[in-house]
Structure 1
Amino acid sequence: MDFSDPQFWFAALQIIAIDIVLGGDNAVIIALACRRLPEKQRNQGIFWGVFGAITIRVILVFFAINLLALPFLKLVGALLLLWIGIKLLQPEAAGDGHEIDASTTLLGAIKTIIIADTVMSLDNVIGIAGAARGDLTLVIFGLLVSVPIIVWGSKLVMKLMNRFPLTIFIGAGLLGWIAGGMAITDALTREWVNMHAAFLHWLMPIGTALVVIVTGKWLAARAQKNIALIDLTNDTNKPM
């Protein structure tokens, strides 16, 4: 297909629509990963995170069906999402801000975006591959057009998180929800769940979302307590 073919544009619109639907999840990932960066680094984190995520997704499209047929792949991905969701709820490290190099923090945000987006894309790339019918030009075109939408969405989510901290927990819970859905649709578990435990289709995502929120909040409270103790010790040891 070429740009003059109406089928090209129809397929491109399908890919864009698929990616816009997914953009909400991507925006949450990007916002969570970049929310602690200095203002001047946030745009860099968003750009390179989205760039890396889109590149990985283009590659995954051509291996999607084979990848999703592998046992344990989604289970491993679900565990990764649970870890990322809990990690994103943790407070910033104690100190005066000089222990952590800014470039390292930026790199960490980019890595988080790419890893999480790769994990979350395993189901979605099948739809993109089907719409593109193996046409690499279509895949790249559709994904590139959707990038501005994802970037704008991530900036909006970041503003909400800065103003309403509760949205951070909602975002982390969303990662847990997605992880639960992935765990029960793995090639190893899907058939058994459908035949013997169909209720897990709604119970598992709820349970894993709660695991992320409760565990993340508990660990964050412990970390805050440790930070407070360190600050108290430092204040006590200061010369009068």
Structure 2
Amino acid sequence: MLEFFQTLNWAAVFQIIMIDLLLGGDNAVVIALACRNLEPAKRVQGILWGTAGAIALRVVLVAFALEILDIPFLKLIGGVLLLWIGVRLMLPDENAHDVRAGASIAAAVRTIIVADFVMSLDNVIAISAAAESAHPAHQVGLVAFGLLASIPIIVWGSTLVLGLIDRFPVVITLGALLLGWIAGGMMLNDSFLITRIGEAPEAVKIAVEICGAMLVVLLGRWLARCRDVVSKDAHHEST
């Protein structure tokens, strides 16, 4: 362990921390949205477990980054999954207080890990590039150390967003817009599409990202409205 720190490429560690913080701001939003329905006393647990799972997954992704990103249709499927995650996060959880605390935390952690897997596909390339300057035997350990060092900032960012959600519910909509935006750009960068039609112009990319953002919000609001109507009808029938 001592030898590892003595031979550590601290410049690479700094680069990995900065990359993870700059590109990982959306992760704090996802963590906050996924934990917003937990009881206040359980939110810290949800944030910590979700962050730990996301960081561990990202280390694995970095180890196989190039191979994973070259799989055709991966980003298309991931983009659709991220769109659905964004829609689900917009729906109010009417039964949040009826679910056992453990089950609620587990559900939040699952959402965080799945969303982080999808959103990290691009980020891991930048982290891998920063780690290439280190000795091959130390690269995975270097990435893990850099990501672990960024955990306090991610946890703090998630806590901050949760506080904003409690005060300003519109933050939920903004977070859903962000997920839809990311999903649109991700789907357009799928290796299958790039080999068929080439790189999309910047204007097209922005248009697709806007469409993704709007799709998440509009579909989320529509489903929430349908759920509200069904809930009211059920209430009238029971009375």
TM-score, normalised via structure 2 length: 0.91
Q: What is the deviation of 1:120?
A: 0.5
Amino acid at match of 1:67: I
User: Does 2:153 align with 1:149?
Assistant: yes
1:110 partnered with 2:109: yes
> How high is the sequence identity, in percent, across the aligned residues?
48
**What are the equivalent positions in structure 2 for 1:159-198 lying under 5 Å apart?**
159-194=163-198
In 1, the alpha carbon distance for the partners of 2:23 and 2:104 equals 26
Provide the aligned C-alpha RMSD in A: 1.8
Gaps of at least 5 residues in structure 2 are none
Number of residue equivalences: 232
Query: In the superposition, relative to structure 1, how do residues 42 and 195 fare at CA in structure 2: closer, same or farther (>3 Å)?
Result: closer
Please say if 1:91 is aligned against 2:89: no
- What CA deviation, in whole Å up to 9, does each residue of 1:6-47 have, x standing for no partner? x71100000000000123101100000000000111011001
Q: TM-score, normalised by structure 1?
A: 0.91
5, 10, 15: which is aligned to 1:3?
5
Q: Distance in 2 between matches of 1:19 and 1:149?
A: 10
Distance of aligned partners of 1:67 and 1:151 in 2 relative to their CA distance in 1, 3 Å threshold: same
CA deviation string 1:80-117 (max 9, x = no partner) = 1001000011122359x43x222211110000000000
**How far has the Cα of 1:170 moved from its partner?**
0.6
Aligned residue type for 2:115: A
Q: Which residue of 2 aligns with 1:101?
A: 100
Matches of 1:172 and 1:58, distance apart in 2? 26
Aligned to 2:54: 53
One-letter identity of the residue aligned with 2:187: A
- 1:31·1:154 contact (CA, 8 Å) conserved in 2? yes
The aligned residue for residue 227 of structure 1 is 231
Structure 1 partner of 2:44: 43
Offset at residue 190 of structure 1 (A)? 2.1
- 1:37 is paired with a residue whose SS is coil
Q: 1:13 to 1:35 in 2, by over 3 A?
A: same
Q: Is the 8 A contact 2:188 2:200 kept in 1?
A: no
Q: Deviations over 1:51-92 (max 9, x none)?
A: 000000000101110111110000010011001000011122
Aligned equivalent of 2:210: 206
2:205 & 2:46 partners in 1: Cα distance? 34
State the one-letter code of the partner of 1:153.
Answer: G
Structure (1 or 2) with the greater helix fraction: 2
Q: Confirm or deny: 8 A CA contact 1:91 1:223 kept in the other structure.
A: no
Query: What amino acid is aligned across from residue 58 of structure 1 in structure 2?
Result: V
Structure 1 stretches of 4+ with a deviation exceeding 6 A read none
Matches of 1:108 and 1:23 in 2, distance apart?
21
Q: Which amino acid aligns with 2:214?
A: L
Corresponding residue for residue 80 of structure 2:
79
Mean Cα displacement is larger for which, 223-232 or 73-82? Answer: 223-232
CA distance in 2, matches of 1:198, 1:34: 34
Corresponding residue SS for 2:68: helix
> CA offsets, 1:117-149, max 9 Å, x none?
011001111111111125122101100010000
Which of 199-208 and 12-21 deviates more? 199-208
